[in-house]
Structure 1
Amino acid sequence: MADAGSLINWSLLAFDPPGWGGVMLAGLWQSLQIAVGGYTLGLILGTGGAMGKLYGGPVTKDLLEIYTTLVRAVPELVLILILYYAGTDVLNQFSALVGFGPVDISGLAAGIFVIGVVQGAYSTEVLRGAIKAVPAGQIEAARAYGMAPTQIMRRITLPAMLPHAIPGLSNLWLIATKDTALLAVVGFSELTLVTRQAAGSTKAYLLFFCAAGVLYLMITLVSNVLIGLIERHYRRGMARAA
């Protein structure tokens, strides 16, 4: 009976041609760049969104409510298609209107923008909930002590909210790493697309898709270790649940 080694051509994962290992690692690097960039942009949007929802005026709150509701209601694949194609078209039309030529947007920048907009809506709600979880007495005591709003945010609100925000934000990071796979539908050469190309060229579908699954799993495992270290650091001194 033939063993697994004779049924699977492991040389196809070699880093040098005709192996596809190097191509898959390049796709993984592209996926990581999009995930990090999109997650960072999402944090920036989420921070502004949370502050706007908590402390902004009625118009600001209504606009942010529309943004978060729409993004969370529409499937992420549909959002990616809308933002990627419609967003590029709108930008080019605006560029033509002001007298410039067509804008050549890199796939990396477009991918970061798309993931960032999606992440921003979820980050807004995570951070808003974390800020509201800070005991009001701490904020009132800081004001009574004479602290400026920036000092209150830096020394009271931020340290107190992080333990509440980290679980939700860590989950959003893992979602961002997997959402990069959706960019394959718009032709961006991230891990999923190059895996599909490799499998289609060699017909070794099981080998390449299992290899891609292992790479995604490695990202998750490493992320979980780092998230655990960060969470333990910011939960120092907090009472443990019984």
Structure 2
Amino acid sequence: MESLIRYAPLLAGGAVVTLSLALLSLALATLLGGLGAAGKLGGGPFLRTLALAYTTVVRGAPDLVWLFLVYFGGQRLVNDITGALGLGQVAVTPFLAGVFTIGMIYGAYLTETFRGAYLTIPRGQTEAAMALGLRGLPLQRKVVIPQLIRFALPGYGNVWQVLVKATAIVSVIGLQDLVGLASDAGKSTREPFVFFSAVLLAYLLITWVSQTLLGLLERRAAAGFADAR
């Protein structure tokens, strides 16, 4: 326990890295998920095929394999491009590789989450809004997006919970996150059980806070929808 207290500030810094990695990855995943869903729902044959290939290929391989491909292969690809342009070598950090990899993977899952939420919206509501003269952005902002958020929130929350835990894999390429620092501290003090127990509690805390906040958002969205009716 004394070792854990001594390393507490270091682990707190690792927790900040973990949360930063998770939030940035979620932002990228949300963007990719929105684009993928738009491609599947309203794109032409090319965009639909591209979105289908993205979700199929990305979800078909383990997260760790994608991480290694992005970190080692991506590093070489970036340096080949900068070398051809006469620029210097560029280092792809474990943090950036983690953000891109996790964002890319969970963007594929959010594509299906957003697509399913959109298809859940009663078609009659959009038709009624169009009959009243709503078109384009006003239709999306006043009718489609509020309902899309309501229907997508449960699936979005599930993806976030899994994504947070997936950040632990980035420690294998040297990221000094919560898991990586706990592993190093456990080896140096020969108390790995103590430090990984602390990591377990930290992830449980993040999960509990996330569930609480997401539950509040879901209830608020449902209440707003009921009021609108």
TM-score of the two chains, using structure 1 as the length reference: 0.90
SS of match in other structure, 1:235: helix
1:227 corresponds, among 192, 196, 214, to 214
CA offset digits 1:203-241 (Å, max 9, x no partner): 1121111011001111001111101110101011657xx
- Partner Cα separation in structure 1 for residue 19 and residue 151 of structure 2: 26
For residues 27-106 of structure 1, what are the structure 2 equivalents within 5 Å? Answer: 27-106=14-93
Q: Which amino acid aligns with 1:36?
A: L
Alignment of 1:129 onto 2:129? no
Q: Which amino acid aligns with 2:178?
A: L
Q: By how many angstroms is 1:193 displaced?
A: 0.9
Which structure has greater helix proportion? 2
Q: Which amino acid aligns with 1:38?
A: S
SS of match in other structure, 2:175: coil
- Partner Cα separation in structure 1 for residue 25 and residue 138 of structure 2: 29
SS of match in other structure, 2:87: coil
Alignment of 1:156 onto 2:143? yes
* Structure 2 stretches lacking a partner, 5+ long: none
SS of match in other structure, 1:236: helix
For residues 171-182 of structure 1, what are the structure 2 equivalents within 5 Å? Answer: 171-182=158-169
CA contact (8 A) 2:29 2:110 kept: yes
2:205 corresponds, among 218, 232, 235, to 218
Q: By how many angstroms is 1:74 displaced?
A: 0.6
- Partner Cα separation in structure 2 for residue 106 and residue 205 of structure 1: 26
- Partner Cα separation in structure 2 for residue 39 and residue 214 of structure 1: 22
1:201 corresponds, among 185, 188, 194, to 188
- Partner Cα separation in structure 2 for residue 84 and residue 134 of structure 1: 39
Number of aligned positions between the proteins: 226
CA offset digits 1:61-111 (Å, max 9, x no partner): 101101100111111111111122212211111111122111123332222
- Partner Cα separation in structure 2 for residue 92 and residue 153 of structure 1: 42
CA offset digits 1:25-67 (Å, max 9, x no partner): 1111100000000001100111111111100010111011011
Q: By how many angstroms is 1:126 displaced?
A: 0.3
Cα RMSD, aligned residues only: 1.3
Change (3 A) 1:27 1:237: closer
2:3 corresponds, among 5, 8, 12, to 12
Q: Which amino acid aligns with 2:50?
A: L
